[in-house]
A and B are shown apart, each in its own frame.
Chain A
Amino acid sequence: KAGVTQTPRYLIKTRGQQVTLSCSPISGHRSVSWYQQTPGQGLQFLFEYFSETQRNKGNFPGRFSGRQFSNSRSEMNVSTLELGDSALYLCASSLETGLPIGVEAFFGQGTRLTVV
């Protein structure tokens, strides 16, 4: 069974540009969450999508947005990039059965975004 796949793995963008990151969850998983990891702030929750609906949102500015498609694949978009957006962006998927089974989040390898 394939794991969580994130593309691209590495990205270099210029300040002011926008970027789109992609995440393909494990087959059958309906929940996709995004996290930002930086040395200064650690791991911070961005948002979660479940059945194409945003279910939870972290404390990030509106420049950060996301969406989920009917096949559960998710994208996140960052507009008007700032130097501080340089980070490792991690995507995680989970089964979400509503039962204790399937609550674990499985992570992709991340997208390393560098803003110059």
Chain B
Amino acid sequence: KQEVTQIPAALSVPEGENLVLNCSFTDSAIYNLQWFRQDPGKGLTSLLLIQSSQREQTSGRLNASLDKSSGRSTLYIAASQPGDSATYLCAVETSGSRLTFGEGTQLTVNP
């Protein structure tokens, strides 16, 4: 059974700092890995999708990497802003369209 772990569970940083969120998964037989952002009580917004054959994806200040063989992904956020404060969720898709989520990292960026 696929298990996804996100570290740290919570992170508080000053504005402007670069930061890294970590995601690990137990079964490397994945189709893709997707990073989502969730604001309190709101829906999930897709940030980046990395196919299993890819190593990284970038969107603006966000960069996600994938090392499938070691079962790890990182989400790098450059020059953090208070508007980046949210919960970040990592999810992996395996065969049968099964999506397994981590518990998330709650990020607070302080002005």
* Chain A partners chain B: no
- B residues within 8 Å of A by Cβ? none
- A residues within 8 Å of B by Cβ? none
